[in-house]
Amino acid sequence: MAARKSKMMKIRGEEQEACKILLYIRVSTDRQAEEGYSIAIQKERLGAYVKSMFGNGKNVSAEYYIDDGFSGGSLDRPEMQRMISDIKSGRGTHVIVYKLDRLSRSQKDTLYLIEDIFLMHNVAFISMQESFNTATAFGRAVVGILSVFAQLERENIYERTRSGMQKRVESGLWPGGGCVPFGYDYDPEQGILVPNQDAATVKKAYDLFLQGYSTYRIAEMLNLKYDRLAYQILTRKSNAGYIVYNGAEYRGKHEPIISLETYERTMMMMKDRSDRHYVSSSVHLLTGLVRCGVCGAKMRYAKWGKQGYKLVCYSQQTSKKYLVRDENCDNERFDAQAVENAVLHYLFRMTSGDLQAGESNEAQPAKVAELLQERHDTLAKKLKRLYHLFADTEDDILLETIQDVKAEMQTLKEKIEAESERGEWTQRLQRTREELKNLADVWEYMTDLERRNVLREAIEEIELTHEDIKIKCYIEP
């Protein structure tokens, strides 16, 4: 019974009346069990150790805490959390593990357990294999040193795993079976993604988005669990045959569900809708495109009795103060149908010959980039004037206008960069040109959604000033 009086096993020098031994066991994989870390082996050796050091006295009790199949890289383990809770409640005098890395493979977590849990609650920590305990200063120092090596081993494993993943994706293989994209299954034998029965749903999602439907409506129409899933489907380049890993793209060996062109069109349209605050549920043809030429505020459709709808400047609607640009704006209220007819007449007169005549010049990447840069430079000059005016008056409306101009300049800057890198806006103009060639012939057969969509592809802005209508198009006839 002398072992029960050993100060090496106690935090305090005097003998304790009762010892509550907490025996912690962890196995993360079957391989560890094969290497001698099985639950049965750890339990047998820990039990024998307690018996030899503490004896079988009635004041000695032991309880096992066993985490089977949990990594040592985190403390988020059920039995570990139960043990911590018991220690905080005062139910424990010693914690014993077979080996230090059974407690944790993280230096930070190991030191946290020893310093903030065990010692703070007067509990000694003992590791059988390393032959030390925290009742002594030397034991605490050894724990710190060994935990550094445990952390180093864990980081080496992580680096080797990451290096292996990198080589896999570079060769076109999927990095692993986890997080398999919707529409695919993972084939572990080939190491690639394989389209499954949901691939048709993925294709349909792209088709609907390019037709003008929102992600919310797409999720509803395709019976997806949530609209976020529709967004995730659309933005995954793996659907086009690529693997995105650590910020880089690699050509995958898996079969694409959609073409790269479809993916790029989707990304461009998604960005364009974001820039315009696109509302696909609107029933009005020109929603989001009309701006007041007097004060610069947006214009909205307003029900106007039996006359139908009128386009009204937001500065004349006091219920939305944040949209007001000039409370004294005197612009007229325009008949919506008349404005729509004028816009359609303008587009319909873009005959096939007119559009083909401009293709050799306007559709060139250099020309598009030049036009975007000219617009950016014009806004820069406007911004400079606005700053001078604001310095004199400090008008809040001017400040909002300054913010709008800065936001538009940032958008243009991104468009210029995209044009320089991929010719995105040249491709857009070419697609829009094709759509407009026969627009007059197919207009009556198009749905309302298709009509609004093609107008947003062709028109940048419609400015109404008293009796004048100014239409800014991405393509000029």
Q: How far apart are CA 426 and CA 174, in angstroms?
A: 33
DSSP 8-state class, residue 349: T
Q: How far apart are CA 110 and CA 112, in angstroms?
A: 5
Dihedral sign computed on CA atoms, order 295, 299, 304, 309: positive
User: What's CA 352's distance to the chain center, in Å?
Assistant: 43
Q: What is the dihedral of CA 222, 227, 231, 233, to 10 degrees?
A: -40
How far apart, in Å, are the Cα atoms of 222 and each of 64, 207, 273, 475? 51, 12, 21, 35
The yes-or-no answer on residue 28 being catalytic is yes
Closest-CA residue to 93 (of 68, 72, 63): 63
**303 phi and psi angles, rounded to 5 deg:** -65, 130
Strand pairing class (124-127; 132-133): antiparallel
DSSP 8-state class, residue 177: S
- The token pair at 84 is 């911590």
Residue 298 φ/ψ region, left for φ over 0, alpha for ψ in the -120 to 50 degree band, beta for the rest: beta
Q: How far apart are CA 25 and CA 37, in angstroms?
A: 9
Q: How far apart are CA 268 and CA 412, in angstroms?
A: 14
Of the candidates 28, 106, 147, 214, the residue annotated as catalytic is 28
DSSP 8-state class, residue 3: G
**312 phi and psi angles, rounded to 5 deg:** -120, 140
17, amino acid identity:
E
CA angle in degrees (0–180, nearest 5) for 327-328-331: 110
Q: Which residues contact 326 (CB under 8 A, 6 or more apart)?
A: 294, 295, 296, 297, 315, 397
Q: How far apart are CA 378 and CA 472, in angstroms?
A: 15
Q: How far apart are CA 238 and CA 244, in angstroms?
A: 7
Q: How far apart are CA 429 and CA 359, in angstroms?
A: 9
Q: How far apart are CA 46 and CA 168, in angstroms?
A: 42
- The token pair at 182 is 């919707």
Helices (H), 310-364: 336-348, 352-362
Catalytic residues, by residue number, are 28
